[in-house]
Amino acid sequence: GAGVSQTPSNKVTEKGKYVELRCDPISGHTALYWYRQSLGQGPEFLIYFQGTGAADDSGLPNDRFFAVRPEGSVSTLKIQRTERGDSAVYLCASSLGGRDTQYFGPGTRLTVL
């Protein structure tokens, strides 16, 4: 079956611009996660959705970062006023429920010039 998909695969933007990153989870998965991975590091948790609601957003680095999942399926990670330090691979994962195995997408590589 189809796995987790993320679009775009690559995004290059200029400092100060706004970007949106999209995640399509596996159909039927109620839990969705966003992680960020900097070069040479393991992925770092950003936010967790159970259904439509953000159950834990403690990993979001500041208020420039926001994520939504309005219908409990597709999620969008939004970054305002991008900074060069936001450059990273943004990974999305989904699972059947919060305690189940997480399945990751291929990630979106964000480059802020």
Site for other proteins, rule CB under 8 A: 4, 31, 33, 35, 40-45, 48, 50, 55-56, 59, 91, 93, 98-99, 101-107
* DSSP three-state, residue 84: helix
Report in angstroms how near the CB of residue 79 gets to other proteins at its nearest: 19
CB 18 within 8 A of CB 84: no
Report in angstroms how near the CB of residue 87 gets to other proteins at its nearest: 16
Nearest CB to other proteins, comparing residues 52 and 80 = 52
Report in angstroms how near the CB of residue 21 gets to other proteins at its nearest: 13
Nearest CB to other proteins, comparing residues 20 and 56 = 56
Nearest CB to other proteins, comparing residues 35 and 65 = 35
Pairing of strands 44-50, 65-68: unpaired
55 Cβ contact partners less than 8 Å away, ≥ 6 residues apart: 48, 49, 98
